[in-house]
Amino acid sequence: MRRKVLVGLACLFAAAQVIRFEHTNPPVTGDVGAPPTVQRALRRACYDCHSNETSWPWTASLAPISWFVHHDVTEGRRRLNFSSWHAYASDPGTELQKLKNIEKAMAEEDMPPWYYRLVHPDSKLSRSQQEAIVGWVAEEIAGRKSAPE
Amino acid sequence: MISMARGMASVFAVFAVLLSGQIVRAEGGDLPVVRFHGGTVEPGELVVKAQTPFRLRVVNETQDAIEFESFELNRERVVQPGAEIVVYLPALDPGSYKFFDDLHHGAAEGTITAK
């Protein structure tokens, strides 16, 4: 019985490998103009899912982990893509909204997600890195409050 | 002499105010508009000229805040109940670009078609 279950799981695992996703890093056409300290922190904690500079881990080729990685990167890039920051900036209101989203994520400490931090321990932001990002975002928001609606 | 100068200045000021009012009205009236109301958006498909930057008026006629979101257009804007905003959009290649209310999933969805 136990052997049958193991064989069944092995078959499922093998079958799952058929569903594959392409790992793409589209061209970087722009980037957010943040101070170097902030840039380093953002790259460390956010860029794998929120930019076109994803470092695809080897597990990203192994189903079912690959499915989750693909979902997180696709959704992450849709919601906030630092490589498309210039596109946001062409609409002052959108740029302001993206900054507010970062502010909210920092305040709620829900980014990067816990499961990402688990496999990427170095992505956890230090207190000083968090403060640097929060300070930069607050400054940018204050500077854009007068932008036309 | 001074009173005449003041008089002229007043006349110019009045004309300036009137003129600025006309410009604001003309801009607002000329912009393409999408209206969110009752879980729908009108028009469902907005046709614009391709390869020409434009500004879009987004009007929220609902009782709740909405979020005008388009992944394809890289736009995300919150619109308070009863308020309206102007969204700046770049020159678009011919094609269709979806937008939706990200605060009410499955509700209002529309398309901007550039021709």
Q: Which amino acid is at B29?
A: G
pLDDT of B80 higher than 90: yes
Cβ(B66)–Cβ(B101) under 8 Å? yes
Is the ipTM above a cut-off of 0.85?
Answer: no
* Chain A interface test: which of B74, B75, B89, B93 (most A C-beta within 10 Å): B74
Predicted TM-score (pTM) of the model is: 0.78
Buried b (16+ CB within 10 A) or exposed e, A59-95: ebeebeebeebbebbeebbeebbbbbbebbbebbbbb
**Per-residue model confidence (pLDDT) at position B84:** 94
Superfamily for domain range B32-114: Cupredoxins -  blue copper proteins (2.60.40.420)
Q: Which has more pLDDT, B113 or B103?
A: B113
> Which of residues 64 through 83 in chain B touch A, CB cutoff 8 A?
71, 74-78
Output B63 or A2, whichever has higher pLDDT: B63
Question: Of residues A59 and B60, which shows the higher confidence score?
Answer: B60
- For residue A12, the model assigns a pLDDT of 77
Q: Which of B56, B76, B84, B102 to mutate to test the interface with A (most CBs of A within 10 A)?
A: B76
pLDDT digits (tens, 9 = 90+) for A18-52: 777 777 888 888 888 889 999 999 999 999 999 99
Where do the structural domains in chain B lie, given as residue ranges? 1-30, 32-114
pLDDT 10s digits, A50-108? 999 988 877 777 777 888 888 899 999 999 999 999 999 999 999 999 999 999 999 98
In whole angstroms, what is the distance from residue A86 CA to residue B23 CA?
29
